[in-house]
Chain A
Amino acid sequence: MAARALREAGRRRRGWAAEVGRRCFSGGSAGAAVAETKEGAAGGGKAVNLFTAVNQALHIALDTDPRAYVFGEDVGFGGVFRCTTGLADRFGKNRVFNTPLCEQGIAGFAIGLAAMGNRAIAEIQFADYIFPAFDQIVNEAAKFRYRSGNEFNCGGLTIRTPYGAVGHGGHYHSQSPEAFFCHVPGLKVVIPRSPREAKGLLLASIRDPNPVVFFEPKWLYRLAVEEVPEEDYMLPLSQAEVIRKGSDITLIGWGAQLGVLKEACEDAAKDGVSCELIDLKTLIPWDKETVEASVKKTGKLLVSHEAPITGGFGAEIAASIAERCFQRLEAPVARVCGLDTPFPLVYEPFYMPTKNKVLDAIKATVNY
């Protein structure tokens, strides 16, 4: 219900939302520029949005492995975000099915299924609702291999879940809970920034022999459009990507926030500031080396995410880079993040780490 309301509202797109909507990689030159620098995937393919790219990945995952299963709340008819459209028709209701409305049940069932040597691709309808499954993910999935001394593992488990702001989602359709999961050894946390990335990273996550929590930027489901190769391809996990070269400051982010950072880079360039932009992609285990190399070059770092600043994953990056690059840092690491409030409805434009907040922080850091 809530999701349907969200979709409807998404189509209506109020003024501010439409404006911020431009931050995605769809259409305009900004998106193309990011897509061009991408590596790992063959070029070409039809221009599709992010939910279609996810859908393609799921088709391929089910098609290439008869032991793969897709399930979750409302996935049977195609899912509230349409990511599972057509899967049940093609692969049958034994492999693509609805579950009861119970996140801990979905996660627990998925762990058992994965532990029997299957690829269990579970959907949690919104990341805001993943918390009932937290115990299963943290105490069970993450420790399954370790606690058994590798007698058992649930590496075939992938939990897909839409995260982040969408312009009108309020408290419970907007959160970015990635940091909670980054505190859990044994899990991998992956967040794609665009349709092409989503397909390649999702296939890699599904086939990775470790449990993965895969956060999908729900704002980009429809808004982000780019050419996505139709074939089966994977993008490497735990490898960050420099998506824009620069010399004055390093900007790092993931998921939908990359769009905001991209715009900030362009505006900063007009003021003569050269920004290097990095997509972290995998939050744990994360690619410190790529970030370190960049910061050693630029001497400055800005981290940005939608989640509240305190205890966010940006803090981990800032601390690690301070340890590794202290001698090279010419300014404190800047963090432009969500506020330390619950995600607010009418105040969303105030809460968000918007382009101008980023731009101000870039200038302050560069001029430190």
Chain B
Amino acid sequence: MAALWLARASSQLARRAARSLARHGEPSPPWFLASAPPPPVLGPPAVERSRRRGFCSVRRFAGESSAAAAAAAAATAAVEEEPENGFAAGADQAIDFPGGKVSFVAEMNFLPDSQRERINCYRVLDDDGRTISDSKFQEVSKEVALKMYSEMVTLQIMDTIFYEAQRQGRISFYLTSNGEEAINIASAAALSIDDIVLPQYREPGVLLWRGFTLQEFANQCFGNKLDYGKGRQMPIHYGSNRLNYFTVSSPIATQLPHAVGAAYSLKMDKKDACAITYFGDGGTSEGDFHAALNFAAVMETPVIFFCRNNGWAISTPTTEQFRSDGVVVRGQAYGIRGIRVDGNDALAVYSAVHAAREMAITEGRPILVEALTYRVGHHSTSDDSTKYRPIDEIEHWRTARDPISRYRKWVQGNGWWSDAEESELRSRVRKELLQAIQVAERMPKPSVAELFTDVYDQIPSNLREQDQLLRDTIMKHPADYPTDVPV
């Protein structure tokens, strides 16, 4: 059956292949491999085009350069008026299928596993902190630019001091955002306070930007009675209703479907706001990632999926995590617009999230942002990453690619920042942090009564009974229990 079909089609096939070669003047890939659609460019994306014409019409033998893509698009246009060139959708050569018209072609084209060139990466600042010529980006005022800078520095110092506090045994656990300060702060700066944040756990900078104080951070890490989480979760599991920042939970990617539900609520309430959820490269392997992207696309919810592709999921490199070209390409398969951005370039992250937010809200659609970065620190205080990755790789990213110093060069280049202000900032933040830690450490722990609240809105009888039993046991064996938790 198939053989017969191939034989009949072959002559037409050969003619078309020859024409294709002549048109583009370069060798085509193996005949059975269609090349992928041209890489998405900024501006109205190709999705619109393909939705109108069916995805077959944008698959061609062209190379991946934008010129070739343009030629391909032109050829497609011509094709629609010239049925005899073989791509036409005649009555018997196309099918109306759910989702739009699908053209039949005589070639047996398997879609390639990847595009010939990797999806490019949007960047504004070069390695020396100068804006790349022709770069298009969202302007930031001096005031916002300086706030971004000082918050990036604050986050860095907070990480250093809390990490040390953990090493000294004063807090049980910590996890730094080193190397991802631009992602944290610049993405937060591009949002409005009404936008709902559903974080993973390496985005405390978003909370910092929104006004969570260093004392509030310290209270959570020490699990004292002022911790909003009442000492129930490990350090770094921050959350704040006031700041629209959902409480961190440890499981990976579970917050992504929540973001879609939250975004749906914003849309139903016609709010001028979106939801944004953060996750790492490892998180994209979880089922919840796929569930969330698909739900978001189908339900047309204003949500930004922000992937911090930092290269490492604890010890697993991305080469052992997925075979796709990173994460941004997954969006297209779900019908989601996406962009890859230099995660160590604060202006690029700011601009991309700013644009993503606009599109998400005004067009009621999800946007996928993949920020390329590097986890400069260990996964957490329970990890030693030198066991599985070369130290010079870490050092390279820590120094040559540091997002803070790159951004500082730009700020200083504008004449907005001086060395004197730098040292003033650093010593002030350091002092504030040490003060916050001292206060948090001295603050009493929440009482045993809070062990039983908030399981339900009201305490059910079984928990009241267990509360009483526990109190009796504490009276009997006080030495078994910590003395700093009031009974």
Query: Interface of A with B (CB < 8 Å)?
Result: 94, 97, 99-100, 102, 104-105, 107-118, 120, 132, 135-136, 139-140, 143, 145-153, 155, 185-186, 188, 209-210, 238, 285, 288-289
Interface centre among A116, A149, A288, by most chain B C-beta atoms within 10 angstroms, is A149
Taking each of B246, B263, B294, B456, which has the highest tally of chain A beta carbons within 10 Å of its own beta carbon?
A: B456
Cβ of B249 under 8 Å from chain A? yes
* Contact A104/B461 with A116-B266, A147-B237 known, Cβ cut-off 8 Å: no
Give chain B nearest CB distance to A350 CB in angstroms.
Answer: 36
**Min CB–CB distance B464 → chain A (angstroms):** 10
Interface residues of B in 263-321 (CB under 8 A from A): 263-266, 268, 275, 287-288, 291-292, 294-295, 298-299
Residues of B in contact (CB 8 Å), total: 48
Bound-state Cα–Cα, A65 to B463, Å: 31
Q: What are 6 inter-chain pairs, A to B, with CB distance below 8 A?
A: A107-B257, A108-B292, A111-B261, A118-B265, A149-B227, A149-B247
Chain A residue at smallest Cβ distance from B268: A94
Q: How far is the CA of A147 from the CA of B262 in the complex (A)?
A: 18
- Are B247 and A152 touching (Cβ within 8 A)? yes
B287 cross-chain contacts in A, Cβ below 8 A: 104, 132
Query: Residues of B contacting A105 with CB < 8 Å?
Result: 257, 260, 288, 291-292, 294-295
B23 at the interface (CB under 8 A from A): no
- B259 interface residue, CB < 8 Å from A? yes
A140 pairs with B251, CB closer than 8 A: yes
Q: Which of B196, B198, B294, B460 contacts A102 (CB 8 A)?
A: B294
Residues on the A chain within 8 Å of B264, using CB: 109, 112-113
Mark interface residues in B32-48 (1 if CB within 8 Å of A CB, else 0). 00000000000000000
A105-B291, A149-B232 are known contacts; what are 17 more A-B pairs with Cβ within 8 Å? A100-B291, A104-B291, A105-B292, A108-B260, A109-B295, A112-B261, A115-B246, A115-B258, A116-B266, A117-B265, A135-B251, A136-B288, A151-B228, A151-B239, A152-B246, A153-B457, A210-B457
Q: Which residues of B contact A135 (CB under 8 A)?
A: 251, 254
- Residues in B with CB closer than 8 Å to A132 are 287
Which residue of the partner chain, among B246, B247, B256, contacts A108 with CB atoms under 8 Å? Answer: B256
A112-B257 CB under 8 A given contacts A151-B240, A288-B462: yes
A107 and B254 alpha carbons, distance in the complex (Å): 10
A105 to B453, alpha carbons, bound, how many Å?
29
Query: Which residues on A sit within 8 Å (CB–CB) of B265?
Result: 112-113, 116-118
Beta-carbon contact of B455 and A185 below 8 Å: yes
Does the CB pair A151–B291 fall under 8 Å?
no
Cβ B258 vs Cβ A140 within 8 A: yes
Q: Within 8 Å CB of A139, what residues of B?
A: 249, 251, 254
A104–B288 contact, CB under 8 A?
yes
* A-contacting residues, B461-477, CB 8 Å: 461-463
Query: Could you say which of B246, B247, B453, B461 contacts A285, with CB atoms under 8 Å apart?
Result: B461
A143 to B237, CA, bound (A): 13
- 0 or 1 for each of B443-459: is its CB under 8 Å from A? (1 = yes): 00000001001111100
Q: Is the CB of A186 within 8 A of B251?
A: no
> In the complex where A108-B288, A140-B249 touch, is A149 in contact with B261 (Cβ < 8 A)?
no
Q: Give every chain A residue within 8 A of B288 (Cβ-Cβ).
A: 104-105, 108, 136
Nearest CB in chain A to that of B240: its residue: A151
Please determine whether B254 and A108 come into contact, CB atoms closer than 8 angstroms: yes
A209 to B299, CA, bound (A): 26
Q: Does B230 contact A (CB under 8 A)?
A: yes
Q: Does chain A have a CB within 8 A of B20?
A: no
Q: Is A111 in contact with B455, judged by CB distance below 8 angstroms?
A: no
User: Which residues of B lie under 8 Å from residue A113 when comparing CB positions?
Assistant: 261-262, 264-265
B261 near A108: Cβ-Cβ < 8 Å: yes
Contacts of B461 in A (CB 8 A): 285, 288-289
